[in-house]
Each structure stands twice: as structure tokens, then as C-alpha cells.
Amino acid sequence: MDIMLICGAFLAGFIAQRCNLPPLVGFLLAGFTLNALGFESNNAISEIADLGVTLLLFTIGLKLDVKVLLSKEIWGGATLHNVASTTFFTLCLFGLQAIGVSFFADMPLSQLAILGFALSFSSTVFAIKALQDNGEINSTYGSMAIGILVMQDIFAVAFLTVSTGKIPEWYAIFLFALPVVRPLFYKVLDKVGHGELLVLCGIFFALVIGAGLFELVGVKGDLGALILGMLLAGHKKASELSKSLFNLKEMFLVCFFLNIGLSEQPTMAGLILALVFMLLLPAKGLLYYVILDRFKFRVRTSLLTSLTLFNYSEFGLIVGGLAYKEGWISGDIMVSIALAVSISFVLAAPLNRFSNSIYRHSASWLREHSDSKIHIRDQAINIGQSQILVLGMGRIGTGAYDELSERHGDICLGIEIRTDTSEHHARRQRNILCGDVTDSDFWEKVQDLEQIKLILLAIPNNKGNRYALEQLRLRGYTGKIAAIAEYQDQVDQFIELGADAAFNIYSEAGSGFARHVCDTLSPQFTTSARSKM
């Protein structure tokens, strides 16, 4: 049976990918199809799915800036949306009850509010996958979406704790001592190296110290994994640790999406109610947009954040499962929540894939704030008198920046999306600006782009570099463009898209290493007979 589940998931995921949809859409449909054929979920799939969610939250924590969560647009926006959307859904359900819909006939207002609360959440798993697929997880709107989702996760954990009457053990107070032992965690990361032991170390931190320790004291383990990831986010290996866990996390999450379809048997009544929930979903997305717009973010940031969060959440299933267990909702309503979550994923997948196109077609009739009123995190940037732009100031971008500065003087400008990385470079006297080069508005607001003679695309992900290249070509940039790539087919794609040069970072690293050795050591060799020929 497990072989059939694997085959079904692979086939459906492959078909979805060939249809330009995220594979997770295929996994969901595979789950429902296999369920209809008589297959059921099992403990192994459920446990692997839980591991995937735990690792996902741990890796989110590794990339999360705590200062982002403390900003008013994150905690304030998440709180306002949760209250507004819960109220909206509750009133709609109360209206359905008033007109005689049998599903809600005997439900008191408090239970309708719990169902409305369950529908107010957006999916952390789906949003992170969509942002990763678009190469925009570190963009302004990506960090906004993740911050709001983390706050929603905290709301959900608090609700589950109160609803079940499960109060954390008194010794849970010792969890506040974790920051004190963080230096010890850092020393462990320093000593584990860069291979398989680093992967095992990440699993140990996420599942044992994070999830395991928090479960031991009566707090939800997923929250523990998230918090521990945040504690480790400041370590120099945090990014490497996240990347090392990427493939393992992705494999486990296949079971998560497959398990949604396998866990519930669709019914006609449940499907009809799920479609009713889907009719209410646009209002949820509109609330996100209105609230973010009130914080003076640009139209693109507000719109793309709203599209990222335009879905129902797996936490809705968890809250619904608790309500079903307590007898607050019927089995058909529980099935309808599962179906609504799945359908919303299928609907949201193409919306997120083509989100930038949707923005370009809608920007003309959406009102933009004046430059002086734009939120400080979303303001346009000035490139000054620079002649070389380095997009992405990671290790490769930094190395290129330093080499070009040494050769040509102070004519380079580095563009980096992460605030902490930008501050790091600024302290080292590099000419750096914090900005989102995957933002089409960024390029529209750049003044005197024609003075730039060379642009290096050194963003650590291929999709980000491709999008930046497309934006430059759309705006008629005529200077030289060079890009980095991990694979030869990506090199070919950049050349086809109009880049003047593209370099395979692995092959170029070898030749660069050889040049460095020769320049530094100046070895003397005996000329061979072959070289004389």
C-alpha cells in the first residue's frame, strides 16, 4: 500500500509540475484520489507529516529576525486581521444559521465563533512553499507574510492550550532560560562541521530540544521548534543549517499534503459547505490588503502579501479537529474544512505563481501612497553615482564587490534584501543599500539607471536572478549584465534571456582557486616537453 501512495504522489506531483503548478497541488489531489479508491492514511505518514511541519517551523525560525515580529505592522496587522476575519466569518455563519442552513442549526454563537476563528488562519506550510518557489522568501512582502503567519501560529497555540484546559506544567517557566544556554548551542554548531553531522545536529535541535522539550513541559512542540530556530538565527551557520535541512524537510512535507487528502472521506454535503467557505475567502484576502495598506505599504507589497495569505490553513484543521472531538461541530463540517483547505491551495497556487503579473495588470487602478508617506521598510532607494551594481551581497556577491572595488575604486553599490546583512556590510565601510531587487517597483523607482555600466546578478537563488534580469530587460537597460548559476542549463537560460555572461559558480570556483594559488604562492614549475610543443 505504501508503494501505491508513493507512486501516486510522484505521478500527481509530476503532472502538476508539467502543468506549471506547484507539486503540492498534485500531492493534495493524489491524496483525495487515493482516498476515493479506498486507501487510508496510516501512522507512518501522519508522523512523517508532523516531522515535516516541525522542521519547516524550525527552518523558518533560523531565518527570522525577532525585531520583525516586534514591529507594529506585524503584531498589529496579525491581530487586527484575526479579530476582523473571525468576526466576519462568525457573522456569515450566523446568517446561514438564521436562514435555516441545517449544518449550523443547533450551534450556539460561541461555537460559530470557534469555527470562524478556524477559518481566519492562513497556511504557513503553503505560504513558505510558494515564497520559496518564487524565490522571494526574503522579499519585503515575504517577510511580512511570514511574520503574520508566525503571529497566527502563536494565536492558535494559545487557543489550543486554553480550549483543551491543558495548562503548561509549572516548570515550563524554565524555558525562559533557553537564551542563557544559547552560547552552548552556538559552540555545538561551531564544532559539528559542514557534513552529515550538521544535518543530524539540526534534527536534534528541532525535534529533541525544540519540540521534545516543549512537549515535555506541556507546550506545543511546533512552537518550540520555531523558538529554538529563532534562538539559533544569529549564528553564522544558520543559513547553512537551513539549506542542509531543505531536501529532508521537502520530502517530509510531501506526506503532509498527501495526508490531508487521505485523512477525510469527501461527502457531497461537505463539498457543498466547502464551496460556501470558498465564496467567503475573497473577503479574507481583501481584509489583509486593507489592513496592510493602512500601514502605508506600497500597493505591490500589500497585494502580494495578501495573495500569499489567500488560503485556509492546516491550523484550521487542527482547531476544527479539536471542535469535532469536543462535539462542537459535526463530521460534515470537519470534512468541509479539510476540503476548503485543499481547494484553497489549488486556487492559490496559480495566483501565487503569477502574482507579479497580477500586480502589473492591477497596479494602474490601485491607489499608491505618495513617496513621503510610504512605510520606511518599503521606500524606494537612490543609487547615487555608482557605475556597478552587485545584486545580492552573500559570499559570492561580497567577493565580487571587493574585487571590483580594488580594481576600479569606489564605484560599486551592493543591493541586499536582508537588513542584518546590509548592516554588517555598512559596518565594514562597503557602499550598501537595503532593497528588494525582485520588486518590480524597485526598478521603476531607480533614477539614472543608464549611468550603471555593469550589473552582477549574485542573488543566492536562480529565480531571483532571473526575475531581476527580466525586470532590467523590460525597462530597456542597455548596460552589461552578468549572472551566477549552479547548473549548466541555468547558464544557457541566462544567455537566452539576454545576459551578456553567465558563470557556473562551481566550475568558476575551481579556476578562481587555481589563480589565487598561483598569485599567492608563485610556484616555479619545470616546463614539460608537452607544453613546449
56 in Cβ contact with 249 (< 8 Å): yes
| pLDDT reported for residue 529 | 47
379 within some domain: no
Tens-place pLDDT, residues 282-295 = 999 999 999 998 88
Total structural domains within the chain: 2
Reported as type and span, the H/E element at residue 454 is strand 454-457
Instruction: Examine the domain organization and report whether 76 and 204 are in the same domain.
Output: yes
19 within some domain: no
183 within some domain: yes
3-state DSSP assignment of residue 418? coil
Tens-place pLDDT, residues 337-385 = 878 887 888 888 888 888 878 887 887 777 776 666 776 666 666 777 8
| pLDDT reported for residue 50 | 83
CA nearest neighbour of 58 among 289, 236, 231: 231
Q: Output the CA–CA distances (angstroms, integers) from residue 473 to 138, 283, 325, 443, in the order listed.
A: 23, 36, 56, 11
| pLDDT reported for residue 446 | 77
71 within some domain: yes
| pLDDT reported for residue 166 | 62
Instruction: Examine the domain organization and report whether 409 and 467 are in the same domain.
Output: yes
Residues 6+ apart with CB under 8 A from 424: none
Instruction: Examine the domain organization and report whether 406 and 449 are in the same domain.
Output: yes
Which residue carries 542584518 as its cell?
Answer: 420
At how many degrees (to 10) do helices 140-163 and 314-325 cross?
Answer: 10
Instruction: Examine the domain organization and report whether 288 and 196 are in the same domain.
Output: yes
418 within some domain: yes
Residues 6+ apart with CB under 8 A from 36: 266
2 within some domain: no
Instruction: Examine the domain organization and report whether 153 and 186 are in the same domain.
Output: yes
User: DSSP characters for 488-525?
Assistant: HHHHHHHHHHT-SEEEEHHHHHHHHHHHHHHHHH----
375 within some domain: no
Instruction: Examine the domain organization and report whether 209 and 273 are in the same domain.
Output: yes
Of 328, 363, 398, which residue constitutes the final position of a domain? 363
Instruction: Examine the domain organization and report whether 346 and 478 are in the same domain.
Output: no
Instruction: Examine the domain organization and report whether 324 and 406 are in the same domain.
Output: no
25 within some domain: no
Instruction: Examine the domain organization and report whether 282 and 420 are in the same domain.
Output: no
| pLDDT reported for residue 285 | 93
Instruction: Examine the domain organization and report whether 50 and 166 are in the same domain.
Output: yes
**Which positions of the chain have pLDDT values less than 70?**
1, 20-22, 135, 138, 157, 160-166, 263-264, 321-322, 325, 369-372, 375-381, 439-441, 444-445, 516, 525-533
Give the count of alpha carbons within 13 A of 42, CB side only.
Answer: 7
Question: Domain of 67: which CATH number?
Answer: 1.20.1530.20
**pTM of the predicted protein model:** 0.69
Q: Which domain holds residue 130?
A: 46-254+265-363
Question: Domain of 441: which CATH number?
Answer: 3.40.50.720
At how many degrees (to 10) do helices 299-308 and 140-163 cross?
Answer: 40
Instruction: Examine the domain organization and report whether 291 and 425 are in the same domain.
Output: no
**Of how many residues is the chain composed?**
533
Instruction: Examine the domain organization and report whether 330 and 181 are in the same domain.
Output: yes
| pLDDT reported for residue 287 | 95
